[in-house]
Amino acid sequence: MEENLSHLDENGGIRMVDVGDKAQTRRRAIVRGVVQLSARTYGLLRDQGLPKGDVLTTAKVAGIQAAKQTAFLIPLCHPLPLSSVDVRFALNEEGAQVIIECEARTTGQTGVEMEALIGAQVAAATIYDMCKAVQRDIVISECRLIHKSGGKSGTYEYEG
């Protein structure tokens, strides 16, 4: 097996990586995603006129909860003591979009990219759930890591 496939053992089976010898560092990850709505649905969301209630508050709580549950959802993720999770929204009126950012932080031996990714995606899915009564063709897209810092590999910034 190739040495760079850290989640495979010498026989090609999956394994959880042993991070016990890695240094504890302050780690941070930010993931951004986009929820594309129709102009009508966007207006209802903006004006808090959707039948299920406050969409963004519900999505924020869902994203934070999801980030905290990442190790239960992704089989080879390490459970992490998260020091902070934040889910932020920006409304793009012109594009009828909700831009989501999920930021996760920890001090530990492995990164928090997966926690930020799961948090952003569940926040997006919650927006879909809260809006589906008025629109079924909502699109969730462009979910990507935009920042990572800490650890041996250093800082990553998305340049798009």
- Which one is catalytic: 18, 21, 86, 129? 129
pLDDT at 3 over 70: no
Number of residues in the chain? 160
Decide if 71 is inside a domain: yes
Residue 92 CA, distance from chain mean position: 19
Decide if 8 is inside a domain: no
Which pLDDT does position 46 carry in this prediction? 97
Q: What is the pLDDT of residues 13-46, one digit of tens each?
A: 877 787 877 889 999 999 999 999 999 999 999 9
Place of tokens 């990219």: 113
Which pLDDT does position 50 carry in this prediction? 96
pLDDT at 2 over 50: no
Report the domain count for the chain: 1
Q: What is the pLDDT of residues 121-148, one digit of tens each?
A: 999 999 999 999 999 999 999 999 999 9
> Rounded to whole angstroms, how far apart are CA atoms 87 and 57?
10
47 an active-site residue?
Answer: no
Decide if 19 is inside a domain: no
Q: What is the pLDDT of residues 80-108, one digit of tens each?
A: 999 999 999 999 999 999 999 999 999 99
Q: What is the CATH number of the domain that holds 151?
A: 3.30.70.640
Decide if 16 is inside a domain: no
Task: Quote the domain boundaries for residue 66.
Answer: 25-157
Decide if 7 is inside a domain: no
pLDDT at 8 over 80: no
Q: What is the pTM of this model?
A: 0.91
Question: The sheet that has 25-36: what strands, in order across it?
Answer: 82-92, 97-108, 25-36, 139-149, 156-157
Residue 61 CA, distance from chain mean position: 13
Decide if 3 is inside a domain: no
Confidence of residue 1 (pLDDT cuts 50, 70, 90): very low
Which pLDDT does position 7 carry in this prediction? 67
Decide if 2 is inside a domain: no
Decide if 148 is inside a domain: yes
- What is the DSSP-derived secondary structure letter of residue 102? E
